Structures are given as structure tokens and as C-alpha cells.
Amino acid sequence: MNVNRPQILPVGRRVAYWRARRKLSQQVLADRLGKSKSWVDKVERGVRSLDKVSTLQDIAAVLRIDTAVLIGRDAQPAGVSERVEGVERIRAALSTYEIALERPAARRVLPADRLVQEVAHVWTTFQHARYPQVIDLVPELVADAQRTHAHDSEAGRVPLVEAYRVTASLLLKLGAPDVAWLAVDRAMITATGDRVLVAAAAVQLGQVLRVSGRLRVAKSVTLTAAYRIASPVAEFGAPAELSLCGTLLVQAALAAAHDGDDRTAVELVDEAAEMAAWVGDGHDHHRTGFGPTAVELARIAVAVERGDVEEAVARHEKVITRDGWRWLAAEHRAAHLIDIARAYLHADDPVSAGRILMEADRIASAEIRHRPAGRDVLAQVARDPAAPPTLIHLAAALGVG
């Protein structure tokens, strides 16, 4: 039996496979599920069936995989297994240490200017939400960037930090914050000594910390990085540095909102809005997309987090009429729409949530088809009898629901 292909195994054997991959004992898995060790053992041996979606979802959450992975190949598109395998390839690329171990390079070292172009291409592909392509590109990009930096540390420093940043951003989209943390930690170490590079890497660091539940640390780190590059007077600040500073304030605001500190969250968004007014829309300094429209999306996210669905929806309906909305990256817009769909679900309006998800799928289908957060919202919408048939069929095709 080929243990490298868990998708062909019965559900119980898949549980055993992924438990072993995560280095969990049957007792640890049982404890995290609130079950007995005997229950886990019977599931893995196929003596006990798993016929409840909620139980499958609980197991998948503990094992840090998509629920569809446990269901099997017939109930999932290739994209799910490709995403899981892609994360593992990226993890392997980050774990080679070929430079530190002085292993002979398998490829020639890319000139720094060529590497800069490669990094820009991967960032652009990411911003278009072409995640399967980015998964394929990132392992080689990381290896190339590390070799170039080892050959010419000065010229290779910025592209190496950017390679780690886009890697972390992708991994967060794929629901792998633990591996993203490794990438962003590398970025911060490489950037040390350059306050602008540190600030750029701190954007992804704040996201990783927030997704990992380290909310107060996320707020502290992003605020510290922001104020290190903040101009005493916003109108005299360089647009690129204002964009970084404002984006870090937004990250701090989101961490505060998730931590229940609504007042601080609103104050930080207001501060970011002042900087955004001087930057304007239509720019993408340091891959932030920062501007008045991006700040308004953050304000909406804060409203969603504090449960003010009415404000969130009202602001959303206005912001999508702006020119700045159309100028934002596809992944940014689609990610926002998923948040708004979640807000409609909180308001018990699955019909509107479905409408918003269909728009997100049109703008950047990978946000729903490859991102766990998008798939979760789709599953919730598709359970409602009034959901659009298109979404019900999509949920069935993706094996969610």
C-alpha cells in the first residue's frame, strides 16, 4: 500500500495517516477532540464510522487539513490535494539549509536584477489570486533568492525579504500559519538593520501572529514597526513609508478588534486614514495596496469583528462604487467579499451572502476554491435551501457542506 497517497485510503486510515504526519499520538488526538483513545483507535481501524460532517470538521481542524481531504478524492477537486501537497513542498524548500550547509548549488546563481524580476512576477501572480501557480513558483523562488543573497548579500537582501514575504502571504491564504511563521521569521532576520525592510516584513508578521491567536503580540509588533518609520508630520512623509506605516496600523487595528478592544481598533484605523489621504488610491507601495479604499475595507473588517453588521454592509455598499475599489488587487477585493459574506450570514441573510460569494468567485475564484476560509463560508451558504444553485453545485464539486 502506498502511504504517500492518503487520498486512496478509507476515512479512518486517512485520519491515522494525518495524525502520524502531525506527530500526534492517539491519546493526544483524543484529548483534543474530547474523545477517548479507544474511540480514535476504532475510527482508525474502520470499526467505527464517521458519518457526521461536524465530527469530520472537528478532526480536520485538529489535524490542520481541509475536511475534504478526509472525505476522499471522489468528494474533492484536485485543487485540495494540490494545496496540501503544495504546502509540504514549500515547507521542504524552507527546510533545506543548503546555503548554511554549503551544499553545491544545483543551479547557477541568478543575478540580483533578474531575481528582482522573478520576485515581482510571483507577487503579481499572487495578487491576481492565482494560488496554484504561486504554489509551483515559490519553492524555486526561495531557493534562488537564498543563493543570490549568499553570493551578493547587499544586492540580494531586498529580493530575499520579498521572496519570504510573498511565501508567508501565500501560506496564510492556504491555511498554514505555522509554515508562514517560519518564512516571516526568516524575513525579519534578513531585514534586521533596515527599518523599512523590517516594516515590510512586519506586515506579514502581524498577520501570522493574529491568525495564530497571539493578538496582543501582533498589535505590539506592528505598532512598534509602524512608529519606527512614521513621519512626524504625515503630509511630509514619503508615500512608500506612509503606506507601510498605515498598513501596519491597520494590522494593529485588526489585532485589537479580534482581541475585543474596539476603541483602540477604531482609533488606529482613523490614524491610518489620515496617512491614506496623503497617499491616495491606485498605488501599491511595498505590495500593500494602501490608500483610502484599503483603509475603508479595514474599517469594515473591524465593524464585522465587533458584530456591527449594519454598519459593515452600509460601508461596503458605498466602498465598491469607488474607483479605488477597482484598483485594488483581485485577491484583496475577493478576500473582503468573503468577510462581507460572513457578515451577511451573521445577519441571517444567506441569500445576500450567496450573491456576494458569487461575485468573489468571479473576481478571484481561488479565494473560494483554494482558500480554507472561503470554502468554510461557501459551506455555510450552501446549506441554506435558498442558496443559489450555482453555489450549491460548487460546494458539491468542492466536497464542502
How is domain 193-328 classified at the CATH fold level?
Answer: 1.25.40
Give me the residue spans of the domains in the chain: 1-76, 78-190, 193-328, 334-401
User: Phi first, then psi: what are they for 197, rounded to 5°?
Assistant: -65, -40
What is the distance between the alpha carbons of residues 26 and 19, in angstroms, rounded to a whole number?
A: 8
Query: Given a cut of 70, is residue 180 above it in pLDDT?
Result: yes
pLDDT in tens, 118-131: 999 999 999 999 99
Among 91-100, 193-202, 389-398, which stretch is predicted with the lowest mean pLDDT?
389-398
**Radius of gyration from C-alpha coordinates of the chain:** 22
CA distances from 287 to 128, 204, 243, 244 (A): 12, 11, 9, 9
Question: Looking at residue 290, what is its pLDDT?
Answer: 97
Query: Given a cut of 50, is residue 33 above it in pLDDT?
Result: yes
Residue found by looking up cell 509588533 in the block: 221
How is domain 1-76 classified at the CATH fold level?
Answer: 434 Repressor (Amino-terminal Domain) (1.10.260)
Collect all residues with Cβ–Cβ distance below 8 Å to 18 and sequence separation of at least 6: 6, 63, 65, 69, 70
Question: Looking at residue 218, what is its pLDDT?
Answer: 96
Collect all residues with Cβ–Cβ distance below 8 Å to 90 and sequence separation of at least 6: 135, 138, 139, 142, 167, 170, 171, 179, 183
> Average pLDDT of the chain?
88
Q: What is the DSSP letter of 236?
A: G
pLDDT in tens, 137-146: 999 999 999 9
Q: Greater confidence, 305 or 186?
A: 186
Q: 323 in the Ramachandran plot: left (φ > 0), alpha (ψ -120 to 50) or beta?
A: alpha
Q: For residue 393, name the pLDDT band (cuts at 50, 70, 90).
A: confident
pLDDT in tens, 286-303: 999 999 999 999 999 999
What is the distance between the alpha carbons of residues 75 and 15, in angstroms, rounded to a whole number?
A: 16
pLDDT in tens, 14-31: 888 888 878 899 999 999
- Would you report the helix, strand and coil content of the chain in percent, each value rounded to 5? 75, 0, 25
Q: Do domains 1-76 and 193-328 have the same CATH topology?
A: no
Torsion of CA 161, 79, 65, 339, to 10 degrees: 70
Query: Given a cut of 80, is residue 99 above it in pLDDT?
Result: no
Residue 223 is which amino acid? L
The predicted model scores a pTM of 0.79
